[in-house]
Amino acid sequence: MSELINKEVGEKGCCEIIEINALNKWYGDFHALKDIDLKVKEGEIIVVCGPSGSGKSTLIRCVNFLEKFQEGSIVVDGTELTDDVKKIRRVRSEVSMVFQHFNLFPHLNIIDNLTLAPIWVHNETKQAARDKALQLLDRVDIKDQAKKYPNQLSGGKQQRVAIARALCTSPKIMLFDEPTSALDPEMISEVLDVMVELAKEGITMICVTHEMGFAKKVADRIIFMDEGQIIEENEPESFFKNPESDRLKLFLDQILSQ
C-alpha cells in the first residue's frame, strides 16, 4: 500500500499529453458526452468507471477519433483532432487501443497481427517488426504461439496478443476499453498482470474497467462517469474511502459487493 501512497501525480511527466476541453458529443439527438474536461499528464494512469451507458467507451473512442464529436476540442500530444485525415492518422500512430472483444485480425497469424501496423503504418522493415513482435510476445508470455491464428487461442491469450499488438507500434498512449469484461473469470488475472507491468513502465494509460483491485493498485486518478458526465475524480485512496456524490457511493456499493 505504501508505494501507492507515494505515487503522486506531480512526479509524472511535466506536460499534458491529452487535453480534452468542453467536449460534447451527440448520437443523433442523444447527448452522450456533456462538457467533458480532462487533462492527462504524460505517464499518468487513468481509470474510468461508471454504470453501463454512461459514455465511458464514447469518451476514450473520441481520443483516437473512432467517434466524431460535435463540440469542444481534443489535443493529443500537440495535435488537435479535426476532420483532417493526416492529423487523425498522426494521433492514431501514437495512440493504441485494446478492445473488449480483442478485435484481432482472424485471417492473420499472431506474428502478422503484430507486425501489420509497424510495417504498413510506421514503415518499419519486416525484419525489425518481427524482432520487436517476438520480444513483445515474449513479454506477454506467448512467444511459442507466434504461428497460430487468433481463434486457436483462449480469450485471455488473445487479449494478451491484442495488448502486444497495441504495443508493437511503440505508442505514447494506450487506451483500454474494458479489456477483461469478455473473459472467463479464470483468465482475467493473466491479462491484468500484463497491464500492471505496463503501468509500471511509465506509458500513459486510459483504462475503462470495473476491476477495482487493478484501479487501486496502479491508477493515479480514477474518474467516475454517469449520464455522459464526469461526476467525480480522485486519486484511488480518497476515491474509495471518501466518495462524495451519492451516485458514486451507490455505484461503489454495487460493484464492491459483487
Ligand X SMILES: Nc1ncnc2c1ncn2[C@@H]1O[C@H](COP(=O)(O)OP(=O)(O)OP(=O)(O)O)[C@@H](O)[C@H]1O
Which one of another protein, ligand X, Mg ion, none interacts with residue 27, CB within 5 to 8 A by kind?
ligand X
Scanning 35-43, 73-81, 95-103, 130-138 for contacts with another protein by CB under 8 A, the matching segment is: 95-103
What type of residue is 31?
A: H
Does residue 209 belong to the site contacting ligand X (CB under 6 A)? no
* CB closer to Mg ion, 57 vs 209: 57
Return the residue of 17, 18, 20, 32 that touches ligand X, per CB under 6 A. 32
Does residue 56 belong to the site contacting ligand X (CB under 6 A)? yes
Shortest Cβ distance from residue 55 to Mg ion (Å)? 9
Shortest Cβ distance from residue 89 to another protein (Å)? 5
* Residues 97 and 171: beta-carbon distance below 8 Å: no
* Residues 175 and 17: beta-carbon distance below 8 Å: no
Does residue 57 belong to the site contacting ligand X (CB under 6 A)? yes
Q: 3-state SS string over 57-100?
A: HHHHHHHCCCCCCCEEEEEECCEECCCCHHHHHHHHHHEEEECC
Q: What Å distances lie between residue 240 and 198, 220, 221, 233, 237, CA to CA?
A: 23, 13, 11, 11, 6
Question: CA angle 47-51-53, nearest 5°?
Answer: 105
What type of residue is 54?
A: S
Return the residue of 151, 184, 241, 258 that touches another protein, per CB under 8 A. 151
**Considering only residues 118-137, where is the footprint of another protein by CB under 8 A?**
120-121
Shortest Cβ distance from residue 31 to ligand X (Å)? 9
Residue 233 host element (H or E) = strand 229-234
Return the residue of 23, 43, 54, 198 that touches ligand X, per CB under 6 A. 54
The site for Mg ion (CB under 5 A) is made up of: 57
* Residues 230 and 224: beta-carbon distance below 8 Å: yes
Does residue 97 belong to the site contacting another protein (CB under 8 A)? yes
Return the residue of 9, 11, 22, 53 that touches ligand X, per CB under 6 A. 53
In the chain, DSSP finds a helix count (H) and a strand count (E) of 10, 10
Which one of another protein, Mg ion, ligand X, none interacts with residue 53, CB within 5 to 8 A by kind?
ligand X
Q: Number of residues in contact with another protein, rule: CB under 8 A?
A: 25
